[in-house]
Structure 1
Amino acid sequence: MPTLHVVADGNMPHVEAWLTGRVQSLVRQAGRTLSSADLAGADVLLVRSVTQVNQALLQGTPVRFVGSATIGTDHIDLDYLQQQQIPFAYAPGCNAQSVADWLLSILSRLHLDHDLCWWQQTIGVVGVGNVGSVVVARLRQLGVRVLVCDPEKHQQGLLPDHLDLAALVASCDILCLHTPHTRTGPNPTDQLFDQALLATLRPGAWLINAGRGPVVVADALLQRLRGGELNAVLDVWPEEPRVPQALLAEVALASPHVAGYSLEGRANGTAMIARQLAQWAGLSLPDAVPRPPVRPLEAGLYYQDDIRQWASELVLAVYDPARDTATLGCSVQDGQVDAAMFDSLRKHYPTRRELHSVPIAQAPPALRDWLSRLGFSRFM
């Protein structure tokens, strides 16, 4: 057995199942408060998105491998790792299906609560990477008119239907953000959606952000929401991990950065990092870590005359974002959800399964067709 000492974020699932008995020690730490002192004896650091991995954290530690079980790298100082010749692994695309499912749950709740026939709307997707591309494919499978914007992919010749951001924003009824948070480069996204850009959205349009919070200017968004000119759904927050009550009160649906938090998405992230660590260290891993079975949903229990309403009820039976909205609202103290509470909500987040893993019993053909396009794949 290699002499490896591993420190892992306490919120990363299945690490023990992959590594126990294959490394010398495995210690869990809170990702938000992780310090250099916690890494005094660590060869391997495994994190999620809340830990800033940089010189301040790693200098003077024996860490020789860093893995992040997430799709993004904006919390990682890649230049420093390269300078120090520390291998880095991450998990692009691990939770793409989870985020697409989250979005469809959001749209299902808006359908039932706000009579939003989203499949008849023009939906703009900004950021067409590992997550955004899955979202686009799922929406187009449902017959939705989807506009896309991703300058980097377009410049690489990979997105021929790319629209300029200003044109896309002005043309859509629902705007979905799946962008990384970047401050440099040819297309920085930091505070991209400012007062001027938000003002070009159609009156009554919906802004749905499941990318990164700081791409939206908080005050500008709040002003538009209070004026009744815009509707919003936020999974990520401009001042995350702090969520001001003033902004929370104005959004239709809210969650604590958990769009990608399905059991499958989080497990995929850990599995991808474990395998890259194993390749680096020469570890022998199990072929897979079993996932718990899912109880079938009986379609008849959710019956509605309208097929799409019926389907919305079934999507919400798997995951209802109204629950997260209520939980965040109940977590406000002294005018905000503070960082400690925000992290606690994520750490203790209830198990959520992806649509494709949930069996549906006794669905008639017309319902089954729509459910299949939504992402369900197991019918009984």
Structure 2
Amino acid sequence: MKIVADQNIPALSDILSGAGTLSYFSERNPSQEMLADADALLVRSVTAVDKELLEQAPYLKFVASATIGTEHVNLPLLQERGIAFAHAPGANAQSVGEYVLCVVLDWLSNKSVYSVDEIDVAIVGAGHTGRAAGKRLQALGFNVHYYDPPLCKKGVKFVHDHWQRVLTADIISCHVPLTNDGDFPTRHLFESTALQSLHSEQLLVNASRGAVIDNKALLDRVVQGERPSIALDVWENEPDVLADLVPYIDIATPHIAGHSLEGKVGGAVMIANALLAHFEMPANKELADVLPKIDWPELDAAMLTSPESFNSWVKEHFNIHEDDKNFRLHGLTRDGFDSLRRNYRKESPRREFINQVVTCHNSEQYIQFLQLGFRARQIA
């Protein structure tokens, strides 16, 4: 079997050892020569699996994307051609949740007076990443609610469909797929009218898809002044970023919210196992089998009880301002943006909070640190 894969999907050589010949491509798309005899194709969101690509791959039987989103893949065309498909929903959800938590903690650190339980958080989209972000903020005491009209229409109880409640929230965090049609399209969900309604005491975060926020309308809004605080990890038309918008963004990063090592390897494990299962081969690798071990010193919960101490620990393990700085220096060109994503923290990969053991002295602490994503351990 001939497998063609994006070289930025980690651990494939280990997981797929013995499954066939594995060839890697380094650009956005594999070459025509690689596709000509490929049986399986493993991609990330930067590769468009469309009619043009598929016409170059006459023997293709399986496609997988190591991402939660699928808008870069022509799913009806795959089905029409009898090509199986798999992706990795939830693989990087914890990573995105931690990114949002870091953004919110940074925003809070610039406020002199606040009461967390009075801060209203609207999570837009109650899927894997939305819930991962929401439960972390809820663990810190924020008042979190979920806006998700499709789930609301299905009768799911913990979500709502009140758009005005979103626009008046203190913190708005976007976690939706990019859809162009249907009852609830998300492209330009935040258009000019919605953006004009936001004010300087709010925080707007987008770690979903760039075009969920109309970037040109956002630029028109922020140049007016009295703008909300804004954190963007995704950009409309990326890797072609609207450079004039960047100076107005408080935290700007190159689509790396889900790029923890756990998130990337987790996606690789999911799609590799799906490939093996499709071709009826043993699929027995788990995330722990391929992740490098890490040894962080155990902490007592008392050391992380204040917002200041917790924020200090977070900055030590995931300083989001390093990514912001690199983006502003190198990410405003097409090649620069792609390079930052491709080479993200290669020398010192970002690791998730689950690697930190926290000793808890009561059930309240234990539950809180579990929700925050740590490896909580309760003692008598």
The TM-score normalised by the length of structure 1 is 0.89
| Partner residue of 1:232 out of 222, 230, 238 | 230
Unpaired runs of at least 5, structure 2: none
Task: Tell me the CA shift for residue 343 of structure 1.
Answer: 1.2
Check the 8 A contact 1:311/1:371 in 2, yes or no.
no
Q: Write the distance in 1 (CA, Å) between the matches of 2:255 and 2:229.
A: 19
1:135 to 133, 136, 140: 133
CA 1:225–1:368: 2 relative to 1, 3 Å: farther
Cα distance 1:72–1:183, how it changes in 2: closer, same or farther (>3 A)?
A: same
Q: In the alignment, which of 18, 21, 26 is matched to residue 21 of structure 1?
A: 18
1:346 aligns with 2:345: no
The counterpart of 1:66, out of the listed 49, 63, 68, is 63
Q: 1:367 to 1:357 in 2, by over 3 A?
A: same
Q: Contact conserved, 2:29 with 2:48, CA < 8 A, in 1?
A: no
Q: Answer with 212-221 or 133-142: which moved more.
A: 133-142
Q: 1:177 aligns with which of 150, 170, 174?
A: 174
Structure 1, unmatched stretches of 5+, are: none
User: 1:1-380, aligned counterparts within 5 Å?
Assistant: 4-23=1-20, 25-61=21-57, 62-115=59-112, 117=114, 119-120=116-117, 121-165=119-163, 167-226=164-223, 227-288=225-286, 289-297=289-297, 307-331=306-330, 337-350=332-345, 351-360=349-358, 371-378=369-376
State whether residues 123 and 173 of structure 1, in contact with CA within 8 Å, keep that contact through their aligned partners in structure 2.
yes
Cα distance 1:214–1:224, how it changes in 2: closer, same or farther (>3 A)? same
Q: CA deviation at 1:358?
A: 2.3
How many residues of Structure 1 are paired with residues of Structure 2 in the alignment? 368
The letter of the residue matching 2:134 is: V
Quickly say closer, same or farther: Cα 1:53–1:314, change in 2 above 3 A: same
> Which amino acid in the other structure matches residue 16 of structure 2?
L
Equivalent position SS for 2:229: strand
Contact 1:11 1:31 in 2 (8 A): no
Matched residues in 1 for 2:24 and 2:166: separation? 43
Deviations 1:235-282 (A, max 9, x none): 001231122332111111111101111111111111111111111112
Contact 2:296 2:355 in 1 (8 A): no
Structure 2 CA distance, aligned partners of 1:118 and 1:258? 30
* 1: CA distance, partners of 2:215 / 2:127: 24
C-alpha distance 369-82 of structure 1, shift in aligned 2 (>3 A): closer
Tell me: CA distance 1:273–1:224, structure 2 relative to 1, closer, same or farther (3 Å): same
Distance 1:104 1:297, change over 3 A: farther
Partner Cα distance (2:277, 2:367) in 1:
42
Kept in 2: contact 1:110–1:116 (CA 8 A):
no
Judged with a 3 Å threshold, the aligned counterparts in structure 2 of structure 1 residues 93 and 122 are, in CA distance, closer, same or farther, namely same
Distance 2:317 2:114 in 1: 20
- Shift of the alpha carbon at 1:63? 1.0
CA deviations on 1:316-343 (whole Å, 9 max, x unpaired) are: 21101101011111115xxxx1221111
C-alpha distance in 2 between matches for 1:36 and 1:239: 25
Which deviates more from structure 2 when the two are superposed, residues 32-41 or residues 108-117? 108-117
Q: Conserved in 1, the CA contact under 8 Å of 2:203 and 2:228?
A: yes
Identify the range of structure 1 (142-151 vs 79-88) with the bigger mean alpha-carbon deviation: 142-151
Q: Tell whether the 8 Å contact from 2:191 to 2:217 is kept in structure 1 after alignment.
A: yes
SS at match of 2:160: coil
Q: Secondary structure at the match of 2:185?
A: coil
Percent identity, aligned pairs only? 33
Once the two structures are TM-superposed, the CA of residue 128 in structure 1 deviates from its matched residue by 1.0
TM-score, length-scaled by structure 2: 0.89
SS in 2 for 1:50: coil
Task: Measure, in 2, the Cα distance between the counterparts of 1:131 and 1:265.
Answer: 11
Distance (Å, rounded) in 2 between the aligned partners of 1:58 and 1:132: 33
Alpha-carbon shift at residue 118 of structure 1 (Å): 7.8
1:209 is matched by which residue type in structure 2? N
Residue 17 to residue 235, structure 1, CA distance change in 2 (3 Å): same
Whole-angstrom CA distance in 2 between matches of 1:297 and 1:111? 27
Please, what is the CA RMSD of the aligned residues? 2.5
Distance 2:212 2:4 in 1: 31
Kept in 2: contact 1:53–1:75 (CA 8 A)? yes
